[in-house]
Each structure stands twice: as structure tokens, then as C-alpha cells.
């Protein structure tokens, strides 16, 4: 998929201990939406193809070191900080806990910041408490956001919470649900949350699961499954309403979800913003043969389920992969 600034890589198994890699050189209408699993008509993909603009320098040798030798967590999925200059770290576990502890190699006693085990469903291997992001103004407003799986019915929930009067303890009763997304299957939930340099909340959602995207969600902009979303949560009200930024690429288009920032994703597991350039790097889990890392651009189509990385996975009509997506010169 030339023009998508795509890096094809292979990922190993998830690390269950906290490690450190070393050696590397508003405007709009408030909206609360319950997504359904019923597919709407497919919108034909219209990717913008451009040649890669830069070559990739070889990675320097890397090694992994145990950062906190006295700490151990069960199924840790994420590690982050609050951006409040308190030198604390927050560890997220799949089963629904958020722990807080000082950023000190000698620390040995994390505190339980928030326990969501009564709300979080882990019945599916890829379900659980999957994402955590602190508001850019957390030091002032005490808000943070969580992405978790829930059951009866099976769905993904994105909620805002507040810290309590104790800086190391959240107020569970403060939950304001922003978005609930019906999940047809237990896998491909995505789950990462992050605030961009623009102050908006970005949310990664998988294609709904099973294998091969049987509902065609990746190329269907009428659903928010299989997409990266961009929301303005700066005006969340008591009912959890958010605002869609007016400069989102599909605002005002009939039959297209305005929350979408980029689409054609299979299972966007983790992403991050480059602190120097602001570029958004996103890791998308492959189907059978190829894992990928994409630099995300506004409104772009990243190919799934027509493409799996640089491979043609399921052409939707004759010569689709070569003529519309491209199969050469697609790696950076």
C-alpha cells in the first residue's frame, strides 16, 4: 500500500513484566452513541497513494532490562503516567485493576488506584481493561479515561473517571460513559486511548472480531469498528456526551461516522504520538502472515480487509490490490 507510510514488522509475545528498552540512538453537537453490530453498506475504499518520502535508518542494537525488580503484576497490558509532574506511574491489568507507584527502581508496594473488576469482562482472551489515558489537564481537573470490555450484551465501553481527594485513589462512582460499542465477537477489540498534541482523544477500535473481518467493517465507514476515532472530550456533560471536532475528515458525509479519523484497520492494539514531530505511529495486528506499523494520516484508508500489510488479502474486485492499493514499494 504505497503512500500509507507502512512499516511491516513481526511482534513477539506480550511481556508480562515491566521492562525498559535501552540503546535507541470545538465545535459541533454533543453526541452519545450506542454502536450496533449490524453492518451498514460498504463504502468503496479510496486510498491516496503517494511514494514513501524517506528511507529508514537501521535500528541500533537494543536490550531489555528489568526496571522495577521488586514489582510483579498479573497480566499487565499498559504502563503510563498522569503528566502531572508527580513522578508516578500507572500500571493497567487485563482483569480490571489500575495500580499507582512511584517511578523509583526500589519501589515495592504499588497502591490500587482503581478496581474495575466488577465491571470488566475477561471472558474472551482479548477482552479486559485495555486502555488508559489521562486528560492533558489532569493536574487541574483530575479526569482520566478508560477502555474496557463488558458483557450482557458484549460491548466495549469508553468512560471518564475522576480522581478522589486522595491523589492515589480514583472515585469509581464518578464514571461517565462516553461511548458503548457493540462487539459481535470476543476478539479484535483494539482498546488503546491517547491524547494527541491537538488535545483530542484518539481511540483504536478493531474490526469486530472473528477472522478475516466477515462483516466487512474495515472498509465500512458507516460503523466505528475497524477505525481510529478522534473525539473532543473537553466538554463532556453529566450524561457523557462528547463533541466531534469539525475538522474530522468525514464530518457531514452521509452514511459515514464523523468520529472516524482513519479507517481500514484490523486490530489497532497500540499507538503513540512522536514527541518531536507529532506523527501518530500505530501497530495493527495482522491476520495470518504480516504484522504492520503505520504512520496515520487524516482520512486515510489502511486497507483491511482488502490488504494484510503489503499482501493482497481479499480483493473485492478484479485487480483491486494492484490497481487501487498497490503491492510494491509499500514499506518504509
Give yes or no for a contact between 228 and 204, defined as CB atoms under 8 angstroms apart.
yes
Measured between alpha carbons, how far is 32 from 41 in angstroms, rounded to an integer? 22
Over the stretch 205-245, which tens digit does the pLDDT of each residue have? 999 999 999 999 999 999 999 999 999 999 887 777 899 99
Q: What pLDDT, on the 0 to 100 scale, is given for residue 54?
A: 58
- The chain-wide mean pLDDT, for the chain, equals 84
Where are the chain's structural domains? 42-264
Assigned architecture for domain 42-264:
6 Propeller (2.120)
Percent of the chain with pLDDT over 90: 72
Lowest mean pLDDT among 11-20, 101-110, 321-330: 11-20
Q: Which residues of 201-228 are buried (b: 16+ CB within 10 A; e: fewer)?
A: bbbbbbbbbeeebebbbbbbbbbbbbbb
Measured between alpha carbons, how far is 138 from 304 in angstroms, rounded to an integer? 35
Q: Which residue has the cell 500509507?
A: 4
What would the mean pLDDT of 101-128 be, rounded to a whole number?
96
Residue 183: pLDDT over 50: yes
Cell representation of residue 316: 473485492
Residues in CB range of 152: below 8 A, 6 or more apart? none
Measured between alpha carbons, how far is 24 from 287 in angstroms, rounded to an integer? 29
Torsional class of 84: left (φ above 0), alpha (ψ -120 to 50), beta (otherwise)? alpha
Amino acid at each position: 500500500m504505497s503512500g500509507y507510510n507502512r512499516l511491516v514488522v513481526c511482534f513477539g509475545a506480550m511481556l508480562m513484566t515491566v521492562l525498559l528498552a535501552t540503546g535507541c540512538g470545538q465545535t459541533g453537537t454533543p453526541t452519545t452513541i450506542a454502536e450496533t453490530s449490524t453492518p451498514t453498506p460498504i463504502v468503496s475504499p479510496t486510498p491516496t497513494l503517494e511514494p514513501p518520502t524517506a528511507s529508514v535508518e537501521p535500528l541500533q542494537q537494543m536490550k531489555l532490562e528489568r526496571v522495577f525488580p521488586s514489582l510483579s503484576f498479573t497480566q499487565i497490558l499498559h504502563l503510563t503516567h498522569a503528566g502531572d509532574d508527580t513522578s508516578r506511574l500507572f500500571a493497567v491489568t487485563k482483569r480490571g485493576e489500575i495500580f499507582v507507584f512511584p517511578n523509583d527502581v526500589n519501589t515495592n508496594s504499588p497502591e490500587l488506584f482503581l478496581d474495575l473488576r466488577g465491571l470488566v469482562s475477561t471472558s474472551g482472551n482479548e477482552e479486559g481493561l485495555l486502555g488508559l489515558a489521562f486528560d492533558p489537564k489532569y493536574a487541574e481537573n483530575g479526569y482520566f479515561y478508560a477502555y474496557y470490555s463488558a458483557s450482557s450484551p458484549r460491548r466495549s465501553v469508553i468512560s471518564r473517571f475522576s480522581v478522589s481527594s486522595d491523589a492515589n485513589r480514583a472515585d469509581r462512582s464518578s464514571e461517565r460513559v462516553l461511548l458503548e460499542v457493540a462487539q459481535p465477537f470476543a476478539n479484535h477489540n483494539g482498546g488503546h486511548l491517547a491524547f494527541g498534541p491537538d488535545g483530542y482523544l484518539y481511540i483504536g477500535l478493531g474490526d469486530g472480531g472473528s477472522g478475516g473481518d466477515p462483516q466487512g467493517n474495515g472498509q465500512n465507514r458507516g460503523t466505528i469498528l475497524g477505525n481510529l476515532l478522534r473525539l473532543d472530550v473537553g466538554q463532556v456533560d453529566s450524561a457523557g456526551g462528547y463533541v466531534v471536532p469539525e475538522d474530522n475528515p468525514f464530518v457531514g458525509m452521509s452514511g459515514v461516522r464523523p468520529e472516524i479519523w482513519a479507517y481500514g484497520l484490523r486490530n489497532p492494539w497500540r499507538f503513540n504520538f512522536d514527541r518531536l514531530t507529532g506523527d501518530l505511529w500505530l501497530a495493527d495486528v495482522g491476520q495470518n502472515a504480516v504484522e504492520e506499523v503505520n504512520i496515520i494520516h487524516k482520512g486515510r484508508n489502511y486497507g483491511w480487509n482488502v490488504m494484510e500489510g503489503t499482501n493482497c488479502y481479499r480483493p473485492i474486485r478484479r485487480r483491486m490490490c494492484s490497481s487501487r492499493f498497490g503491492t510494491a514499494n509499500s514499506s518504509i
